[in-house]
Amino acid sequence: MSAPKNLTTTTLHSMTWTTAATIVTSVMQIGYTAIMARLLPPAAFGLVALAGVVLRFGGYFAQMGMAQALIQKPELSDEDIRAAFTSSTVLGALFAGTMVLGAPLTRYIFEQPEVVQLVRVMALGTFVAGVIATSMSLLRRRMEFRTLAIMDIITYVLAYGVVGVGLAWRGFGVWSLVWASLSQGLILGVMSYAITRHNVRFYFNWERYRPLLSYGGRISFTSFLEFITSSLDTMVIGRVLGAALLGIYNRAYMLISLPLYLITTSVSKVIFPAFSQLQTNLPKLRAVYLASITLVAAVVLPLSAGMAVAAPELVRSLLGPGWDASVPVLRMMSLPVSMSLVTMFAGVMCDARAQLNKKIVVNVATLITLVAMFWLLRGYGLLGFAGALLLNEFIRMGLFMLLMHQDLGLSYARLLASYLPGVWHAVAVGGALFGTRLLLVPLHLPAPITLGLLILAGALVLGTLVLALPLPLLRHEMHTFLSRLHLSGAAGRLLARYTRYLDRSPESAPGFQNASSPL
């Protein structure tokens, strides 16, 4: 069997496992959020969000991009692994200590004294992340996503379901959120090292560090810029509007971003090592990039549209009474969040192709424009901040399209066309749910029942559009993807029949008759 076919089989198998884990953890996360929102006040989530900003700030530099460097490096030796482990562990300890000592400064940044002690305790997570980074990276490099999926589910159940909910139930308040997060990292570290058992002896040889730090340092700086851009709203809202309104904003953002983020992450986790193995094969990279954004946009955009329409029922069902202020924020946030998750694939492509300098330019530009947007819309409260994110996401998408045009040689028309199935699905699903909601509101049904009926209506519309009536471009990508799956028994026969159905269409997407296989 040829190498490309091996990679294709491995990639598809890995996506199956990551998607399954994503679905399971999404359901558990929704349940966890619903329970914790009833046990804790909004301010608790706001305080942890502020502390999380500080921790993520140190975390990006604590590992210096060693995790991605181990995955992207074409050839890897035992000395490389030891160097990466040494760097991540030492830097993790250094930055954890720095955050413990510097925690009092957060009192002046956020004007929330409670954040100081949270930062000191949560800094332990930075050290743990540095220690386990090498084990997790080796598993991803080897594309052992079945193992990673099982680990994710187990650690989530133990950390959040047992520790988090248990402590909240016993009255530990905001600390239940803290210890849930820390315990997940500790459990994950024990499990990952038990599987990889890599060499943990420290190693000091600059020749081994040089290529890893050259790539990893730029990855770290790029990630830091992305962190500042993604956290700027949290920092500004927490300082200007206070912890309570930040908690409302944070929960609205979580409701729209969590399911969409997990769906996209299940693909991107697999795509980065696959991109890295194909980093010099431009025809296949073009094909897999276009397929990725077409398929993901076709699902993510309509899901965000549906969530925007069903926002009142979503908030009342999952967060309970007292969170109605989250509804307009959730609606405003739906489009920029979904757009950012599709654009994320361009960033993954830059990482795999080591086009990091250009990616840094894009992130600096979007950070500057976001600051300007926040300043211009600062007088409109939470909706102003959400609107700033929306406008800035259009700018970010355009800049990444320019980068992909230059690096992969893709035309702007082809890049924009990849969004068309998703846009059409979003309009159809949003319209269908809007009409359904108008019919259901006079019935005064309980919010969970109304939400369930809206989800059913949206699933029927989206399923029909994707599976039975796909647009030509989506039909092409689905046929290419499904034709490479090899199943046995009844499932294999059903897949073969559906693939033939896609192939029988007289329609064809212009310019794709000679397209390369995605992988």
Q: Could you give the CA distance from residue 490 to residue 355 in angstroms, rounded to a whole number?
A: 44
Nearest one of 515, 170, 465, 212 to 354, comparing CA atoms: 212
In tens, the pLDDT along 248-294 reads: 777 777 777 766 666 666 666 666 666 666 666 678 778 888 888 89
Answer for the pair 81, 200: CB distance below 8 angstroms, yes or no: no
Q: Is the Cα torsion angle 359, 229, 47, 106 positive or negative in sign?
A: positive
What does the pLDDT read at residue 109? 72
Q: Could you give the CA distance from residue 203 to residue 255 in angstroms, rounded to a whole number?
A: 44
Answer for the pair 124, 51: CB distance below 8 angstroms, yes or no: no
Q: What is the pTM of this model?
A: 0.68
Tokens 């016993």 belong to residue:
170
Q: Give me the count of residues in the chain.
A: 519
What does the pLDDT read at residue 513? 41
What does the pLDDT read at residue 515? 41
The amino acid at residue 272 is F
What does the pLDDT read at residue 514? 41
Helix, strand, or coil (residue 409): coil
Q: Which residues contact 297 (CB under 8 A, 6 or more apart)?
A: 342, 418, 419, 421, 422, 423
Nearest one of 180, 63, 57 to 109, comparing CA atoms: 57
Q: What is the DSSP string of 506-517?
A: S---TT-TTPPP
Q: Could you give the CA distance from residue 293 to residue 273 in angstroms, rounded to a whole number?
A: 17
Q: Could you give the CA distance from residue 237 to residue 350 in angstroms, rounded to a whole number?
A: 31
Answer for the pair 252, 482: CB distance below 8 angstroms, yes or no: no
Q: Which helix (H) or strand (E) covers residue 112, if one does? A: none
Q: Could you give the CA distance from residue 307 to residue 385 in angstroms, rounded to a whole number?
A: 19
Q: Which residues of the chain have pLDDT under 50?
A: 1-6, 506-519
Structure tokens at 4: 């490309």
In tens, the pLDDT along 484-508 reads: 666 667 777 887 888 888 876 544 4
What does the pLDDT read at residue 103? 82
Tokens 């729209």 belong to residue:
256
Q: Could you give the CA distance from residue 99 to residue 123 in angstroms, rounded to a whole number?
A: 6
